[in-house]
Amino acid sequence: MKRVKVVAALIAKTGDASSFLVQQRPANKSRGSLWEFPGGKVEAGESDAAALKRECHEELAVELAVGAQLWSTVHEYTDLTVELVLYAGTIVAGEPQPLGAQALRFCTPAEMMTLPFCEADVPLLEALSAGRLAWQ
């Protein structure tokens, strides 16, 4: 089974450390219309931080400062295995735009629990909702 490493950013809303940026996947992609944290695949020879900065530039039109690793998991879908690694992220330039997504939204963990998220993200949502994961 194909295995990919995906990096994602936990980006808090400016002035509100209880709301975080999430994006809705394009309807025509795998896991279409599901919600996820901004980020994407790590390319060969690319560091996690470089991949996350590149993905946020391409998909959100922002410059991101990548902080500490906050969480990670491995999830097996029917078509691939995803290693998902979450980092603290801070937007240092630009305003998020949905260039690679149907929609963007800042949500509290409780609000996220009401949205249909990618399966790999569900344990992360549970950790955020339970206060077991702190944004840094």
Instruction: Look at residue 31 in the predicted model and tell me its pLDDT.
Output: 87
pLDDT greater than 70 at residue 32: yes
Instruction: Look at residue 16 in the predicted model and tell me its pLDDT.
Output: 87
Q: Is residue 134 part of a domain?
A: no
Q: Is residue 69 part of a domain?
A: yes
CATH value at residue 21 = 3.90.79.10
pLDDT band for 134, please (50, 70, 90 cuts).
Answer: low
Question: How many domains would you assign to the chain?
Answer: 1
When pLDDT is averaged across residues 1-24 and rounded to a whole number, the result is: 93
Q: Is residue 135 part of a domain?
A: no
Q: What is the pLDDT of residues 12-22, one digit of tens each?
A: 998 888 899 99
- Count H helices, E strands: the chain? 3, 7
Instruction: Look at residue 15 in the predicted model and tell me its pLDDT.
Output: 87
Q: Is residue 117 part of a domain?
A: yes
Instruction: Look at residue 135 in the predicted model and tell me its pLDDT.
Output: 57
Q: Is residue 110 part of a domain?
A: yes
- Beta-bridged to residue 16, according to DSSP, are 13
Quick check: 134 and 47 in contact, CB under 8 A?
A: no
Q: Is residue 66 part of a domain?
A: yes
pLDDT greater than 80 at residue 136: no
Q: Which domain holds residue 106?
A: 2-129
